Structure 1
């Protein structure tokens, strides 16, 4: 039957006949070579043949302790009357409250930390912000002290709002840094930066944390919390 088919195919088209015979020969030869263990193209291998497995490198998880916590305190909050914040630190630290800090300046400072400029002290933040804020208030926080602190812009500055949206300044930026140099040397996390919205005459959205970052001694910035500005 096969011979009759091939003879008919040859009479119909000799060129097509030669192509079919050549293809059958190549496939048969490949199957024979594969049966005896020679390398054959993957397309001719059996689907049951196991693929070579490449071990996947495991990523080790490292537990890091964050020595800083900062939350909003209870009670009313406004630009004119101030706001309560509740810091809690595992080590003695410094709370720096920067009122009216320029958005571009703060983002530039965080970017600089990621590119070699270590921000780990109150003085570092003051220098890099370079007075691009309205007022700075500093508190010394002892270990595990969770008492609320009240921060406020002095009334003689006559600041009642930070303008209409989109704004060029954050209402309040609260920075926590380790107070003792020895503690900074062995802590992986060296600073915490919290951006807080405080209601004013132009934008009465209730007080809330907008962004919260931790900065590490390796120049890494990790975002911990984001709240929608709605």
Structure 2
């Protein structure tokens, strides 16, 4: 008997609700549609915040999503440090650039003026896919002379050294043309000088590409990008 009463009550409630909806629709169809949209919107919002609402309006993947994997960070020692010192000279193609370096081990600083963009990209790809370019000599060989001028400096271990790199005036180079250019004004490469030191570090070379102002493009001297080359052929973009 109790079951029959419950069924009758539910049927009566459903009938009253249906009759109310029909009367509202006859009175104002627009009001009925607006009310229905409002009810669905409120139901969806309550379901989003976790209230007890019908499952059909909840997200199908709620509770099934997995947390994103956590990338493990690895600490790697970088033996190279290179900065631009504009206090000594403001920096220009004709006046040169003052570079300030401090390395954990004895290093070789190689400065390539007017280095070909394509040649540098080829060198980076060679390091990644063909052979490991971990010495100043190997990097210079890989560039295949695609630069205007190159000179090197040997830097002591743990010493903050300043080096003014400049092209000889008799080359007659005052600019590298209008944009877009096919040559970088200056590429500075740091490598470890001793073989035994290369076995101590994962990072074996530092490549810094710099813009240097000239008569055609007077933007102040700055680092365009800085790459670290590793012993296993990878490269890191140092921000």
When normalised by structure 2's length, the TM-score is 0.70
Which residue of structure 2 lines up, in the alignment, with residue 77 of structure 1?
91
Which residue of structure 2 lines up, in the alignment, with residue 19 of structure 1?
none
Q: How does 1:2-81 map to 2 (within 5 A)?
A: 59-73=71-85, 74=87, 75-81=89-95
Structure with the higher fraction of residues in helix conformation = 2
Structure 2 gap segments, 5+ residues each: 8-54
Which residue of structure 1 lines up, in the alignment, with residue 150 of structure 2?
136
Q: Secondary structure at the match of 1:170?
A: strand
Counterpart CA distance in 2 for 1:160 and 1:198 is 11
Q: Secondary structure at the match of 1:171?
A: strand
Cα distance change, pair 52–69 in 1 and its aligned pair in 2 (3 A): same
- The reply to whether residue 121 of structure 1 matches residue 140 of structure 2 is no
Alpha-carbon shift at residue 59 of structure 1 (Å): 4.6
- For this pair of structures, how many residues does the alignment match? 182
RMSD over equivalenced CA pairs, Å: 2.5
Alpha-carbon shift at residue 186 of structure 1 (Å): 2.3
Cα distance change, pair 85–57 in 1 and its aligned pair in 2 (3 A): same
Counterpart CA distance in 1 for 2:117 and 2:82 is 20
Q: Which moved more, 1:155-164 or 1:68-77?
A: 68-77
Counterpart CA distance in 1 for 2:207 and 2:145 is 17
Q: How does 1:81-160 map to 2 (within 5 A)?
A: 81-160=95-174
Which residue of structure 2 lines up, in the alignment, with residue 212 of structure 1?
226
Counterpart CA distance in 1 for 2:140 and 2:185 is 17
Counterpart CA distance in 2 for 1:107 and 1:145 is 31
The Cα offsets for residues 22-81 of structure 1, whole Å up to 9 and x where unpaired, read as xxxxxxxxxxxxxxxxxxxxx9xxx9xx97998987654321011101010122211111
Alpha-carbon shift at residue 90 of structure 1 (Å): 0.6
